[in-house]
Amino acid sequence: MSIIINYIYIMATKDEKMDFLKWKNNKRRKQTQSKVSRPIVKKSWQIEAEKIENLETLYTDFDSSKADVFEDFPLSTKTKAALRKHGFTKPTAIQKASILPALKGKDVLGAAKTGSGKTLAFLIPILECLYRHRWNSLDGPGALIISPTRELALQIFEVLCKVGCKHDFSAGLVIGGKDLKEEAERVCRTNVVVCTPGRLLQHLDTTSYFKLENLKILVLDEADRILDLGFSTTINAILENLPSERQTLLFSATQTKSVKNLARLSLCYPVYISVHAESRHSTPSGLKQRYVTCQVSDKINMLYSFIRNHVKTKTLVFVSSCKQVQYLFAVLCRLRPGVPIMHLHGRMNQPRRMAVYQEFCRKKFALLVATDIAARGLDFPAVDWVVQMDCPEDVDTYIHRVGRTARFHGSGNALLMLLPSEKDAMIQQLTSKKVPVLKSEINIDKLTKVDGRLQSYCAEDQELKEKAKRCFVAYIKSVHLMKNKAIFVVKDLPLNDYATSLGLAFPPRVRFLQRSMAKSKTASTDAKRSIDDKPETVKDSTKSEKAADTFDISDDEGNDLFSVKRDTTNITDDEEEQEEDLNLPDAKDENKKRSKAKEAKRLLRKGVKINQKITFDEEGGVDESWPPVEGAALNEVESEVEEKDAGGIDINKAKVEMQQRDVKDREKHRKKIAAKHKEVRLKAKEERRKAQRQKEQNKYRDNEDDHSEQSYSSGPDNDPEVDGDNEMQPIEVVGSSSVEDNDSSSPKKKRRKIEPEDFIKTNEDCLANLNTGMTLQEEENLVLHLLRKKQ
């Protein structure tokens, strides 16, 4: 091309050359001009990289104490936009203090009062961390948030969806009660995993392709709870799967400072941030706290009276165990105090739990009875009252429970019911931890008493009675297992009164308690003996006694996520059930049993017959009666003896009687079944026989003309068409199986398998039809004659 241009240039005239040079210069000038003015178009990733670089430089110069709004924070535009969108404009104290160190990549231990916005304090650094690392779905899990309960995990997930709505990360909720396989497929592609410890470990164990080796940031919400004994094995197993080079954030209203716990997390120069450490109280300022002292037997009356006086409020009631929740919920539903009643505990199935949680969030006025699964972290909107029917395990539990109200600058009320035995020690502990709780006096006489109604409910509803029994045992068990023996003294509980207040006539027997009391008795006598022998051993034996009473578990009975913190090895579930079922006579109950016997006598005198059922057979005779006549007679005799003894039910006698009745009943039942089977069998045979007869008659008619001989030998047993001579043949043939065997050539004979019953019937039928009109003697002679002839 250039050769051609050069050739043209040589050949061109001077003017032409001048023009060409002009044109060339002009073009060059324009080209250089356009190059200067055109802006450099950068790729989006380049812009993003620059922004991230700028953000990181801002971290060093930023003073969070001077920043009043999120807009001032060195955050990505996407995070800021989402915060704006959801109305989060001003950061709270904990957010101000902890976001910056977390952005800088430091390990943070954050502590602040309940409802002070700790969730955002860890969610914002998570989003920024992944944004800085330019994380995407192909990178898998980059952040992990562990929560102690499913409800709290769901709540965190919902807030994450709000503040992360402008980012492109994927987030997943990994909690129990869902399809594991389906979850496994998604969890590997999830960038931010919000989970409960048990479910996460399940995935780490079973989902082969789920790996956390790229994890950048780990968050433990309610860290002290997650790091306590209840979760220790699960958390240790999870930590083994995490990379050692990661950032760790721990948040709680009651933060752990246990070096042992923190050492497990291998924190790197952690920053401890406690924004309310210097404040006067450890609970929110808008929270009014009161306590009342009452007997355990007055608790339900007090709760009912409270509800009746606070119908237009949203109330959360805490009790110690699932079984107490179940019973309270059942009776409150029956009592209809005029407010929607809900319940939440760990033994409910997952969809139900979630439904209750969401419904209570939505409701304006409602009452939720719950165990401590609702104590931590849950942000139910506008709760007016928190009522603690049972004394919490410790002050931390108290702080979390009451923290469900008066959240985020709001106000609320808390009421704590204390037994006289619990009061002093608990109040002293609360005061020492800066919890301002005031005493309230209650006029017990003015309470609305519901125990009478509960007793009648229990009498008419066996299921409710069982619930009451379980509630009783569960409460005693929870008190027995509490760590702090200065507060929780099970032997001071008035068991009889408590049982009556639940609607039970007698307190169910709590066997583990009796055993443990017997143990402590022997321990104390041993100690006495050792005092006499060696004074220096006293200390040790008292210690061992205390150790026997001291247990080491948490109270989340029934919550599959909360594993037990206390040592329940001495009390098995089976035992508990037995204890609930058996109400064996006690020396103490002697009087009550006697009065029951008297009551029975009174009924007999009046002629009241209880639960009598008589069934008549077809002839009008008595087929069945309840109670059985023999049994009733037996009872009468026994009741006389019992009256003499006046000592309640004799279990051994009752057992023997029950066994005898059982044998009789089984025999009767067997006979009935056998008779029924026989009837069915006979019916079937009759039908078969009829069908066969019909078939053979038809065949006989068809072949009658052509093969008369054959017809006789194989013909019907009782064919009415056959004549005198031939009538005898079928009897022999049918009766003799050998004939059938020998004459294998005849297909007709083979077809029918003759049963012995058939034979009897057939012969009878044949004989009935073969009326020759001769005498028996004549017939015999004829038969003999024919046989001889045949031979």
Candidates 114-122, 535-543, 626-634, 651-659; binding stretch for ligand ATP (CB under 6 A): 114-122
As measured in angstroms, the least distance from the Cβ of 279 to ligand ATP is 14
In three-state form (DSSP H/G/I as H, E/B as E, the rest C), the secondary structure along 686-708 is HHHHHHHHHHHHHHHHHHCCCCH
Please list the residues that pair with 273 across neighbouring strands: 110
Tokens 């001769």 identify what position? 774
> Would you say 120 or 227 has its CB closer to ligand ATP?
120
What letter does residue 111 receive in the DSSP assignment?
E
Q: Which of 344, 336, 287 is nearest to 319 (CA)?
A: 344
> Would you say 377 or 716 has its CB closer to ligand ATP?
377
As measured in angstroms, the least distance from the Cβ of 414 to ligand ATP is 14
Candidates 116-124, 425-433, 681-689, 701-709; binding stretch for ligand ATP (CB under 6 A): 116-124
Contact set for ligand ATP, span 359-418 (CB under 6 A): 377, 379, 403, 407-408
Contact 324, 300 (CB under 8 A): no
SS3 428: helix
Candidates 112-120, 438-446, 552-560, 685-693; binding stretch for ligand ATP (CB under 6 A): 112-120
As measured in angstroms, the least distance from the Cβ of 649 to ligand ATP is 52
Contact 710, 746 (CB under 8 A): yes
- How distant, in Å, are the alpha carbons of 177, 689, 711 from that of 748? 67, 16, 10
- How distant, in Å, are the alpha carbons of 444, 494, 506, 617, 706 from that of 592? 27, 17, 8, 42, 95
| Under rule CB under 6 A, residue 141 binds ligand ATP | no
> Would you say 222 or 589 has its CB closer to ligand ATP?
222
As measured in angstroms, the least distance from the Cβ of 603 to ligand ATP is 57
Tokens at 623, concatenated: 């087929």
d(CA 21, CA 15): 10
Candidates 110-118, 423-431, 543-551, 693-701; binding stretch for ligand ATP (CB under 6 A): 110-118
Candidates 115-123, 272-280, 382-390, 436-444; binding stretch for ligand ATP (CB under 6 A): 115-123
> Would you say 403 or 716 has its CB closer to ligand ATP?
403
As measured in angstroms, the least distance from the Cβ of 408 to ligand ATP is 3
> Would you say 360 or 488 has its CB closer to ligand ATP?
360
| Under rule CB under 6 A, residue 114 binds ligand ATP | yes
As measured in angstroms, the least distance from the Cβ of 251 to ligand ATP is 7
| Count of residues in contact with ligand ATP, rule CB under 6 A | 19
SS3 188: coil
As measured in angstroms, the least distance from the Cβ of 72 to ligand ATP is 13
Candidates 84-92, 367-375, 631-639, 727-735; binding stretch for ligand ATP (CB under 6 A): 84-92
d(CA 405, CA 411): 7
Residue nearest to ligand ATP (CB): 117
- How distant, in Å, are the alpha carbons of 718, 737, 760 from that of 756? 16, 11, 6
As measured in angstroms, the least distance from the Cβ of 411 to ligand ATP is 14
As measured in angstroms, the least distance from the Cβ of 122 to ligand ATP is 9
Contact set for ligand ATP, span 243-282 (CB under 6 A): 253
> Would you say 140 or 403 has its CB closer to ligand ATP?
403
Candidates 89-97, 124-132, 331-339, 343-351; binding stretch for ligand ATP (CB under 6 A): 89-97
β-strands 622-626, 613-616: how paired? antiparallel
Binder of ligand ATP out of 96, 118, 225, 477 (CB under 6 A): 118
- How distant, in Å, are the alpha carbons of 55, 207, 584, 670 from that of 187? 30, 9, 54, 58
> Would you say 163 or 722 has its CB closer to ligand ATP?
163
Q: Is the dihedral of CA 774, 780, 784, 786 positive or negative?
A: positive
As measured in angstroms, the least distance from the Cβ of 124 to ligand ATP is 10
d(CA 459, CA 464): 9
412, burial (CB in 10 Å: exposed 0-12, middle 13-18, buried 19+)? buried
For residue 200, the Cα-to-chain-centroid distance in whole angstroms is 18
527, burial (CB in 10 Å: exposed 0-12, middle 13-18, buried 19+)? middle
Tokens 């009008």 identify what position? 620
As measured in angstroms, the least distance from the Cβ of 164 to ligand ATP is 15
Q: Is the dihedral of CA 414, 415, 421, 424 positive or negative?
A: positive
As measured in angstroms, the least distance from the Cβ of 113 to ligand ATP is 7
| Under rule CB under 6 A, residue 199 binds ligand ATP | no
The strand order across the sheet containing 171-174 reads 171-174, 192-195, 143-146, 217-221, 247-252, 108-111, 271-274
> Would you say 68 or 665 has its CB closer to ligand ATP?
68
| Under rule CB under 6 A, residue 9 binds ligand ATP | no
717, burial (CB in 10 Å: exposed 0-12, middle 13-18, buried 19+)? buried
Binder of ligand ATP out of 76, 79, 98, 119 (CB under 6 A): 119
- Please name the helix (run of DSSP H) or strand (run of DSSP E) that holds residue 289, with its range, or none: strand 287-293
d(CA 641, CA 86): 79
> Would you say 120 or 430 has its CB closer to ligand ATP?
120
| Under rule CB under 6 A, residue 91 binds ligand ATP | yes
Binding mask 40-79 for ligand ATP (x = CB under 6 A): ----------------------------------------
Instruction: For the chain, give the number of residues.
Output: 791
> Would you say 261 or 282 has its CB closer to ligand ATP?
282
Binder of ligand ATP out of 102, 120, 127, 300 (CB under 6 A): 120
List % helix, strand, coil for the chain (3-state, nearest 5).
55, 10, 35
| Under rule CB under 6 A, residue 483 binds ligand ATP | no
> Would you say 407 or 565 has its CB closer to ligand ATP?
407
Binder of ligand ATP out of 76, 79, 98, 116 (CB under 6 A): 116
| Under rule CB under 6 A, residue 314 binds ligand ATP | no
| Under rule CB under 6 A, residue 321 binds ligand ATP | no
> Would you say 371 or 714 has its CB closer to ligand ATP?
371
Candidates 87-95, 327-335, 615-623, 689-697; binding stretch for ligand ATP (CB under 6 A): 87-95
d(CA 46, CA 27): 33
> Would you say 175 or 253 has its CB closer to ligand ATP?
253
Binder of ligand ATP out of 74, 101, 110, 117 (CB under 6 A): 117
As measured in angstroms, the least distance from the Cβ of 262 to ligand ATP is 19
Binder of ligand ATP out of 76, 79, 92, 500 (CB under 6 A): 92
Q: Which of 42-54 are b and which e, b meaning 16 or more Cβ less than 10 Å from the residue's Cβ?
A: eeeeeeeeeebee
Contact 200, 221 (CB under 8 A): no
CA dihedral 459, 462, 468, 470 (to 10 degrees): 150
d(CA 224, CA 274): 14
As measured in angstroms, the least distance from the Cβ of 580 to ligand ATP is 35
As measured in angstroms, the least distance from the Cβ of 561 to ligand ATP is 16
Binder of ligand ATP out of 62, 73, 88, 712 (CB under 6 A): 88
CA dihedral 641, 642, 645, 650 (to 10 degrees): 120
Contact set for ligand ATP, span 587-606 (CB under 6 A): none
For residue 117, the Cα-to-chain-centroid distance in whole angstroms is 30
Would you tell me which residues interact with ligand ATP (CB under 6 A)?
Answer: 88, 90-92, 95, 112, 114-120, 253, 377, 379, 403, 407-408
